[in-house]
């Protein structure tokens, strides 16, 4: 019985320590949503979190999307991170911002300056590199088309070999076509959630990025 009490006490202290650590943590929550122009089968298609719902409602007249789905969430104080999207697509996030002060040293009247970048992994650094890649993509797409045309006549082990080469070219083409999607500079209040930007990814779908500044305690 004594050992049980010791374990319970330890668990309570551990939980209290963890809760305190969360309350003192300061930084930014990044949420990557998939927006779709087709309405959700049920409900209004908005995320359940009140802050996210409010941020999307505030700009609903400027967005074509009627339903949203969370793709990934990340926590960071600043710097870079990587987020996952549809079909194994990955995105690099870069965030430069004023340091978030501790509450109660600063109230919600505090304004933070934020620079936010979102790009597909491997995006070209400049227009010159983009041009060079466009030539490479054209050549790879020709080779892919030739392999696809040969596939019906392939036999035995050649079938799998052809398919493997096509898959490899698909990966190379996707990487070469990687784009910069969002480049935004803005101000936000402490504790505020904002829609950083959107980017179409094909068809009736698009990415929507929301950012929340989170202030901890002393």
* Residue pLDDT, tens place only, 147-166: 999 999 988 889 999 999 99
Rg for the chain, CA atoms, rounded: 23
Q: At residue 105, does pLDDT exceed 70?
A: no
- The Cα 114–Cα 109 span in angstroms is 16
Other CB atoms within 10 Å distance of the CB of residue 129: 11
Q: What are the pLDDT digits (tens) for 171-206?
A: 888 888 888 999 999 999 988 999 999 999 888 899
- The Cα 99–Cα 101 span in angstroms is 6
Q: What are the pLDDT digits (tens) for 36-92?
A: 988 766 666 677 788 888 999 889 888 999 889 999 999 998 899 999 998 888 999
What is the pLDDT at residue 14?
Answer: 32
Q: At residue 217, does pLDDT exceed 70?
A: no
What is the pLDDT at residue 46?
Answer: 72
Residues near 179 by Cβ (< 8 Å), separated by ≥ 6?
119, 120, 123
Backbone angles phi, psi at 62, to 5 degrees: -105, -5
Q: What's the pTM?
A: 0.73
């Amino acid at each position: 019985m004594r050992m049980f009490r010791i374990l319970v006490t330890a668990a309570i202290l551990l939980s209290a320590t963890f809760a305190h650590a969360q309350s003192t943590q300061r930084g930014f929550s990044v949420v990557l949503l998939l927006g779709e122009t087709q309405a959700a089968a049920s409900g209004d298609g908005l995320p359940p979190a009140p802050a996210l719902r409010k941020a999307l409602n505030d700009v609903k007249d400027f967005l074509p999307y009627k339903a949203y789905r969370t793709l990934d969430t990340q926590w960071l104080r600043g710097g870079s991170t990587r987020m996952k999207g549809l079909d194994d697509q990955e995105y690099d996030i870069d965030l430069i911002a004023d340091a978030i002060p501790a509450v109660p040293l600063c109230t919600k009247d505090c304004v933070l300056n934020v620079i936010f970048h979102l790009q597909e992994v491997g995006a070209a650094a400049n227009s010159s590199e983009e041009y060079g890649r466009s030539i490479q993509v054209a050549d790879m797409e020709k080779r892919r088309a030739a392999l696809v045309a040969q596939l019906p006549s392939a036999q035995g082990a050649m079938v799998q070999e052809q398919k493997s080469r096509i898959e490899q070219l698909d990966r190379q083409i996707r990487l070469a076509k990687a784009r910069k999607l969002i480049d935004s500079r803005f101000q936000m209040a402490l504790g505020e959630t904002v829609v950083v930007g959107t980017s179409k990814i094909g068809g009736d779908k698009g990415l929507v990025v929301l950012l929340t500044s989170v202030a901890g305690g002393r």
